[in-house]
Structure formats: structure tokens, C-alpha cells
Amino acid sequence: MKHWLGKLGTGFAALALAWSGLKAAFAQQTGQVSSTPQAGFVIKMNGELVLTNVVARNAKTGEPVRGLKASDFRIYEEGKLQHIDTFDWESVEMATPLKEATVSGLAAGPSANSPKAVVVAKPEELRNHRLIVMFFDLTSMQPEDLERCVDAAQTFLRTRMQPADLVALVSLGDTLTVDQDFTADKDALIREVGAYNGTEGQGFTEGANANSNQVEDTTSYTPDEQEYNDLNTDRELFAIRAIALSIEKVGMKKSMLYFSGGISRDGIENEASLRQAINASVRADMAIYSVDTRGLQAVLPMGDASTGSLRGQGAYNGGALMNNMNQNFATQEVMATLSSDTGGKAFFDSNDFAPAFAQVQKDNSEYYAIGYHSSNLARDGKYRKLTIRVDRPGIKLEYRPGYYAPADFRHSGKQDREQQLEDELASDLPATDMAVYLDAMYFRLNDNRYYVPVSLLVPGSQIPFVKGGDKDKATLDIIGVVVDEVRRPIGRARQTVKLNLDQSLNARQKNIQYTTSFDLPPGKYTLKFVVRENQTGRMGSFVAEITLPDMKKAPLKMSSIVLASTREPSKQRSNEIDPLVRNGLEYVPDIAHVFRQDQHMYLLYEVYDPAHQKAAEGAPKEPKDAINLLSSLELIQGSTKVYETPLVRAKSINVEGRDAVAIELDVPLSALKPGQYICQLNVIDDAGGSFAFPRFAVLVRPPNALAVTQPAPAAPAGAGGF
């Protein structure tokens, strides 16, 4: 994802740097002096200004209270009184017009082939203005949703935008792009907003609606696009984080109007990315106002015209309606969390988007900007609670309740670093400074135990390799835990992986994959893993849920389906059980389901307790353990089947000791065009009369695409069980 994060242009970055310099001109530094017998006096300086904005309102009328001074406020950090170093009153009534001399654009003036010149705000002109970022998530909106929000934005810009409003435009399509920096130029903003349309810059997601998931009668394991959608959701949350980081040093209150057609999330997937996006927004003093561009929706039990006919009884017993409503609420849950945790508001289930614009203007009209240098010099990364009081009765204060202190990795010792990993593992606010992805599968060992392989993937571009001769070297610390439904630890993994790779492998352009495993009974579990690279101390986290089913009553008992582009010689010991190893080759799971045309897509899955084949009367007797399992894979684009593998037939148990049949499929991708495909695996137990047709999404890229997985050195499996 480095390619699209890097597209956040120089507009925000230059603005942030310029404002940082301006702020440093009037920010005072406070120091603390201590002495030691050996070194004399040591001066410890804290140059990091902690900024917080305070809205003072009359407790009875709710009207803003003006005329307060710095001496009227008391700021406490973790109960300790702090010295106020900067104090300012911000009011849009004191906003000054922008200077026409500051011009940005492709041309100095209007012409037939070039846009009109745009006036862009200088950092010193931002004071007393409302800074509003309009973020259009094009990857999540249907064409009619995009048209609706574009019309609402243009109406606001044309009729309700005030002289104090400075608006920036950002969009997420194939890349994250700053389409217009902060400006008060209405014509430029209206023109840029109008450039968005339903076909330009679409990402991998199709856009959600209230009827996109239907209930079907099924009792077998049916994987879906969860892993694929998780990566898309991370992409959207990383975009919000990137915007917040780009304007973090602009020392004023900011607001984001986030237009989206909903964000899909399953359970607590993407928890790390969500929390990091929220934390970055809080640090940047940016409140998020989420707007569901789908507007008011009619949730139909049998779906709308975009869905196929239902199977089963879901349309008649209320199951389909409940499922559609839950899916709709689920796509709004992330947006609601982003708004509530950053001090903004969410606007759902309405075709009128005007209240969202009005709320942003109301919440950012008048406030006090207060700054101080913390007396706590520890760079421990811990949350610090703020308490602000005013020495006047009848005043209600609204302010940010706290912040996270900066952390210094290089100066920490071995015990501190280990504690940092443990704290991060236990934290409700996981870090995603480094991208980490996780996938967990399961294979049955017996009626009461499962083998659960867990794969973690880190893009090589996220790791600062150090050159050592002809090797690229790096060290990763990995820690993970598995907990059950009552939060009891069931399994744990801890490993330090030392990478020593040939430079010819171009490790920075590939993915580093780590695999471990757990032995668990049936049940529902939560897995959390933390990865830290030990050059700069950046960390990434991933949280996922996995349910290990009780297969005793399932008509067709299946394991997870493993997709891989790589099979490598196995290092399995003779007494080990590893279902990922077949005929001396180990399957390396492809977490993202992304492949190249010059690769093969290998599939591996197991069927347990298949029915025995019964010979017809007068027919020759079959072997006692004869079965008849049929399997094939179809690749579908749109409504067209573009490829199908030859039928694979299994007639006997081939996994001794577990009464299982392992089935392997080999799909060459050279004949397929690049693009997204829906894969349908057809599994039929002919003797037992049971079947399953699970589907999942894959993405095929051209041969020159960088999508090769380089596994990290083998590491011991985590210990599971009671």
C-alpha cells in the first residue's frame, strides 16, 4: 500500500511544515535542571508543545463564553498542574480575507485548456478560519451515492460556505490524492468536486448496499471475501490516518467531512487500523463527521434488483430481513466509531446532507487554543488524561480528554523493549506504524482438537533492512496470544526472527511471512499478534476472530481452504502433524489472495469422515474403504465462467490416522487476464449425498507485478491447549 499512501501530495505537507515553523516562533520551551555527582548539571528540555482546544459555553444557554484569559484556566495532566505556555482565542468573526498574491494551479489565468488559478491559504492566514477537509471515499460509493454527495457538497460551497471557511478536497480511488489544498475559492472547489464521478478511480470494493448479503441454508464451511475485504478496510482507515498525519502540525482545530458508502468489517477485524486512525486524528486535533452517502434505504427481505433470487426459507421466516439489516448496521458501525471517538458526529439514514455541513460550522466557530509543555518528560507512549477547569461559575467546558505521550525506542533497554511488546499486546489501542496482516485456518485432528496454522505477513517495504556484505539484514520481534470467549489465554507465541536474505531477492519489494500454529478444541477464539522491527522500533498489530466448529452433525465436514502460490520443501519432523505438508512440500498460504499471471494458484483442503461408496446389486465389490469425492474449481468474472479445472475424484482415505481425504488443485494462471475473479469450489460427496460450494475472491496481476511472498525463517509453533 506504499504506492497509494505516497500519493498524498505536497499540498498538506508543505502547509504543515510552514505552520510548524510559525508555531515554533512563539512557542516557549520549559526546562528542568538536575545534577549528578559525575557529570555536573544536565539540562533536560521538552520542546514538544501539547495543544488542546477548549470550547467554553454558558451552562444554561449553551452560548459561547468570550473574554476568558489564560489565568482563568487550570490544566492538569494525570492530576498534576501544568504551566500554560500559549493561549489564544479563535473566532471566525475575526477571519481576514486571503491575499490574492498566493496562487497555485496549472496556469496563471483562465484559458480554454487550463483551469482557473486557485488562491491557496498561507500558514499565517489560517488563524480564525475553519479548516474543513472533505474526504470522498470513491471506492465505497455506488454512482448514485456519489452523485448525491457531490450535489450536496456543491450546494454547500455555493450557498452556505462562509468567508471564514477554508476547504480542502481529498479523494481515495486507485490512489489517495489531494485534489485541492485549503482555499476559500468557491469556484475552484465546486469545479474540483464536480470532477468526481461513479466510474473514475474505483478501487477493489464494489460498494455496499442494504441487501448485498442474503441468508442461505447451509451447514458446511463457506469462506467468503473476508480476508480480501479486510485489506480494503485497512486501506480506507490508513487513508484517514495519512490525512491526519499530514496536517498534524497545523496548530489549529480541523474537521473532516467523510463521505462514504459504508465500511465493511467482520467482528473485530481491522481493530488495529481503526484505533490507529482514531489516535492519529486525535493527535491532529481533527474531528471526523461521517456521512453515509447511501441516504435513507429501504431494507427488503428478498433483496433489491442488484441481488439474485434467494434460496431456502430466509425470505419467509425473517432471517433474510434480519441479515440485511445487520449488514447495513455493520457498514455504519466503523463510521460511527470514527466520529464518536474523535469528537465529531455521524449522519446516517437521511437523504439531506445539509445538517452535516451546518454541524461542522457550528462546532468550529469559537474556541480557546491552549498549549503547554508537559512536566512529565518520560517518552513512554502512555495515555495521559487531561482535566481542564475554569475559575468562573456557570461555565461548561468541552475539550479533548487526553493524549498519548511520544515514545522513544532507541533509548530503551532490553527489559523495556520486552515490556513494550507486552503492553502493546494488552493494549486496546494497537499500533499500525507498520502494516501487518494475519490469516488463521483450521484442520481437524480428532473430534475434539484442531490444528490451527496462523500466518502473518509484513510488506518488505515496511522493514528498514541493513546491508551486511551481500545480505539484507533485519530483526523482527513477534508476540501473539489466543484467548477464548471469557478472555482466558489459551495459546501464546513469542519469537525473534533474524532475517539474513540475499540482496538479489529484492526483499524490500516482496513480503515477509511468518507462520506458527496452535492446537485448540472447538470454540470461538480471538487472536492478537504484534510485530516490531528492531531498527526504529515501529510496531504493527492485527486482531482476528476464528470459530472452530463442532463438525459432529455437519453433513459435509470440511477444513479451511488454503490458497498458495508457493510450495517449498518441508522441514517437518517425522513425529509432527502438519496438514499443510503434502508429499514433502509445504503450502505457504497466500493471505491477500493476490497472484501473478506467471504463477500457479494451489488449493489444499480436507474432507473428514466421507461416506463409503455402496456397490450396486450385481456390481463388483468395491474395497471396504472406497469413497467417491468429486471436486473442481470455477473462476467467474461478472456473470461469466471463464475457467474450470478438470474434475478431481478421490476414492480412498489418504490421510492416515485422521480419517481425512486431502484434495489438491493446481490452477495455472497464465491463460487468465489480470483482474478480480470470484472462485467457486465445488465439493460433492457422491456417496453421502452432501455437497458444498464455497466462494472466495482472488486478484490476478500482470507478470511484472510485485506480489511474491518470501517466507521468513521457520519459527516454533505457539503452544495451545489447556
pLDDT per residue over 578-612, tens digit each? Answer: 999 998 899 999 988 999 999 999 999 999 999 87
pLDDT band at 22 (very low <50, low <70, confident <90, very high): very low
| pLDDT higher than threshold 80 for residue 108 | no
pLDDT band at 367 (very low <50, low <70, confident <90, very high): confident
- Range among 31-35, 408-412, 700-704 with highest mean pLDDT value: 700-704
Q: For position 552, what pLDDT does the model report?
A: 84
Residue pair 346/339 in contact by the 8 Å Cβ criterion: yes
- What DSSP string runs through 35-87? EETTTEEEEEEE--EEEEEEEEEETTT-PBP----GGGEEEEETTEEE-EEEE
3 state SS for 671-707: CCCCEEEEEEEEEEECCCCEEECCEEEEEEECCCCCC
Say which residue the cell 510552514 belongs to: 18
Q: For position 127, what pLDDT does the model report?
A: 67
| Arithmetic mean of pLDDT, 645-668 | 91
Task: Measure CA 33 to chain center.
Answer: 43
Helices then strands, counting H and E runs in the chain, come out as 10, 41
The strand pairing partners of 131, in sequence order, are 166, 254
| pLDDT higher than threshold 50 for residue 285 | yes
Q: For position 320, what pLDDT does the model report?
A: 53
pLDDT band at 717 (very low <50, low <70, confident <90, very high): very low
Q: For position 297, what pLDDT does the model report?
A: 60
Question: What's the mean per-residue pLDDT of the chain?
Answer: 76
Residue 559's CB is within 10 A of a number of other CB atoms, namely: 22
Residue pair 2/458 in contact by the 8 Å Cβ criterion: no
pLDDT per residue over 50-64, tens digit each? Answer: 878 788 888 888 888
Residue 147's CB is within 10 A of a number of other CB atoms, namely: 15
Q: For position 599, what pLDDT does the model report?
A: 93
pLDDT band at 112 (very low <50, low <70, confident <90, very high): very low
Q: For position 252, what pLDDT does the model report?
A: 76
Q: For position 318, what pLDDT does the model report?
A: 54
Q: For position 41, what pLDDT does the model report?
A: 43
pLDDT band at 458 (very low <50, low <70, confident <90, very high): very high
| pLDDT higher than threshold 70 for residue 340 | yes
pLDDT band at 319 (very low <50, low <70, confident <90, very high): low
Residue pair 621/633 in contact by the 8 Å Cβ criterion: no
Residue 361's CB is within 10 A of a number of other CB atoms, namely: 18
pLDDT band at 505 (very low <50, low <70, confident <90, very high): confident
Burial 620-650 (b: 16+ CB within 10 A, else e): eebeeeebbbebbbbbeeeeeeebebeebeb
Q: For position 324, what pLDDT does the model report?
A: 55
How far is it, in rounded angstroms, from Cα 282 to Cα 180?
23
Q: For position 715, what pLDDT does the model report?
A: 40
Distances (CA, A) of 644 to 143, 666, 697: 33, 11, 15
How far is it, in rounded angstroms, from Cα 417 to Cα 138?
40
Q: For position 445, what pLDDT does the model report?
A: 93
More confident residue, 259 or 90: 259
pLDDT per residue over 401-443, tens digit each? Answer: 777 677 677 666 676 788 788 888 888 777 778 889 999 999 9
pLDDT band at 695 (very low <50, low <70, confident <90, very high): very high
pLDDT band at 703 (very low <50, low <70, confident <90, very high): confident
| Arithmetic mean of pLDDT, 300-315 | 54
Q: For position 714, what pLDDT does the model report?
A: 40
Q: For position 62, what pLDDT does the model report?
A: 83
**CA atoms within 13 A of residue 474's CA, in its CB half-sphere:** 26
| Arithmetic mean of pLDDT, 118-124 | 55
> Which residue, among 472, 320, 340, 387, has the nearest Cα to 75 in the 3D structure?
387
Helical packing angle, 143-155 and 186-194, nearest 10°: 170
Say which residue the cell 515490556 belongs to: 419
Q: For position 706, what pLDDT does the model report?
A: 54
The region of weakest confidence among 210-219, 588-597, 627-636, 686-695 is: 210-219
Strands (E) located in 463-618: 466-468, 471-483, 489-502, 511-520, 523-533, 539-548, 557-558, 562-569, 581-582, 585-589, 594-596, 600-608
Residue pair 203/141 in contact by the 8 Å Cβ criterion: no
Q: For position 208, what pLDDT does the model report?
A: 41
> Which residue, among 671, 605, 604, has the nearest Cα to 643 in the 3D structure?
671
Q: For position 627, what pLDDT does the model report?
A: 87
pLDDT per residue over 139-195, tens digit each? Answer: 888 888 888 889 999 999 999 898 888 899 999 888 888 888 888 888 889 989 988
Distance, first Cα to last Cα, the chain? 39
Residue pair 697/225 in contact by the 8 Å Cβ criterion: yes
Residue 585's CB is within 10 A of a number of other CB atoms, namely: 16
Residue type present at position 80 = K
Residue type present at position 569 = P
- Range among 109-118, 359-368, 391-400 with highest mean pLDDT value: 391-400
How far is it, in rounded angstroms, from Cα 407 to Cα 429?
14
Say which residue the cell 466421507 belongs to: 610
pLDDT band at 480 (very low <50, low <70, confident <90, very high): very high
- The DSSP call for residue 628 is -
Distances (CA, A) of 556 to 86, 221, 225, 609, 631: 68, 8, 21, 8, 13
Residue pair 273/42 in contact by the 8 Å Cβ criterion: no
Q: For position 579, what pLDDT does the model report?
A: 93
Say which residue the cell 503492553 belongs to: 423
pTM of the model: 0.54
| pLDDT higher than threshold 60 for residue 21 | no
| pLDDT higher than threshold 80 for residue 230 | no
Residue pair 386/82 in contact by the 8 Å Cβ criterion: no
pLDDT per residue over 64-105, tens digit each? Answer: 888 899 999 999 999 999 999 989 887 766 556 655 423 332
How far is it, in rounded angstroms, from Cα 294 to Cα 657?
53
At 74, give phi and psi (nearest 5°): -130, 125
How far is it, in rounded angstroms, from Cα 396 to Cα 222?
53
pLDDT band at 708 (very low <50, low <70, confident <90, very high): very low
| pLDDT higher than threshold 80 for residue 614 | no
Write down all domains in the chain, each with its CATH number in brackets: 2-13+119-351 (3.40.50.410), 414-711 (2.60.40.10)
pLDDT band at 711 (very low <50, low <70, confident <90, very high): very low
- The DSSP call for residue 377 is -
Report the DSSP pairing between strands 511-520 and 709-711: parallel
Of all helices (H) and strands (E), which one includes residue 167?
Answer: strand 165-172
Q: For position 20, what pLDDT does the model report?
A: 34
Q: For position 57, what pLDDT does the model report?
A: 87
Dig out the grid coordinates for 311 from the structure.
Answer: 434460496
pLDDT per residue over 517-572, tens digit each? Answer: 999 999 999 999 999 999 888 999 999 999 999 988 888 999 999 999 999 998 87
| Arithmetic mean of pLDDT, 488-516 | 89
| pLDDT higher than threshold 80 for residue 226 | no
Q: For position 10, what pLDDT does the model report?
A: 31
Q: CA angle at residue 196 from 193 to 197, to 5 degrees?
A: 145
Q: For position 124, what pLDDT does the model report?
A: 62
Residue pair 54/387 in contact by the 8 Å Cβ criterion: no
| pLDDT higher than threshold 50 for residue 241 | yes
| DSSP SS3 for 288 | strand
Of all helices (H) and strands (E), which one includes residue 561?
Answer: none
> Which residue, among 259, 190, 148, has the nearest Cα to 179 in the 3D structure?
190
Q: For position 173, what pLDDT does the model report?
A: 84
Q: For position 444, what pLDDT does the model report?
A: 94
Dig out the grid coordinates for 228 from the structure.
Answer: 480480501
